[in-house]
Structure 1
């Protein structure tokens, strides 16, 4: 079975946001997969995806604060700055975390660990909604 769907998420504020439930809500087809994978791909270069802690929201806040230290705004060596002070750091953050995640599907459900969830990592101060391509490969 191969299935693919593109969705648009509502805008998020800058930060790390759990989107696992939003993805599952969009994929009735996942119920028919005994064994397989879900690939989630983000079609943007200033936001990213990752899998991490899904319970304690302080983890998401710590991610945001730490990434802002690693990739500060207005670094004097940035040349790509005409889209705003948050733009170049957003590209660096996105490249560090990546544009896709792959999650096993087992018996119609995402086979994530007990404390795992899929994050949308929004690295810009203003976003108009991010597009995701959801691809199921399975049996």
Structure 2
């Protein structure tokens, strides 16, 4: 069996938005007990992240590190149509993940104790992001 739903996520600007509960809701309502949950973001300037969900300092430190690795407005970049964060956002997306595969066990994503699913927005300004969640597997 396959179930697919689309999420519309509002990202207020650069940073992370947790979507774990929304993904879990889709998996639970699918009726699938054992299988896989595929999460895909439809954008080239935002990504997905499976990350620590207990201490927000972890996500802050990841953002700080990525800002050092891929600085906004780097003179190396020629693609600047939408501002200093334009090409940096695309590079960040290529270096991170546009999709995640999560195991489904007993009708839920089998996440670790401190794991959460996040949209990682790489643009300065707020954005609406589309995420497709597809659940594959067997019902009980």
Quickly name the TM-score band, shorter chain normalised: over 0.9
Deviation at 1:34, TM superposition (A): 1.6
Distance 2:49 2:110 in 1: 15
Distance 1:16 1:133 in 2: 17
Deviation at 1:28, TM superposition (A): 4.5
TM-score, normalised by the number of residues in structure 1? 0.93
Show the counterpart of 1:87: 86
Distance 1:26 1:34 in 2: 12
Deviation at 1:27, TM superposition (A): 4.7
Distance 2:27 2:108 in 1: 10
Q: Which runs of 4+ in 1 moved over 6 A?
A: none
Equivalent pairs, count: 138
Q: What residue ranges of structure 2 are gaps of 5+ in the alignment?
A: none
Query: As a proportion of its length, which structure holds more strand?
Result: 2
Distance 1:65 1:12 in 2: 18
TM-score, normalised by the number of residues in structure 2? 0.92
Root mean square deviation, CA, Å: 1.3
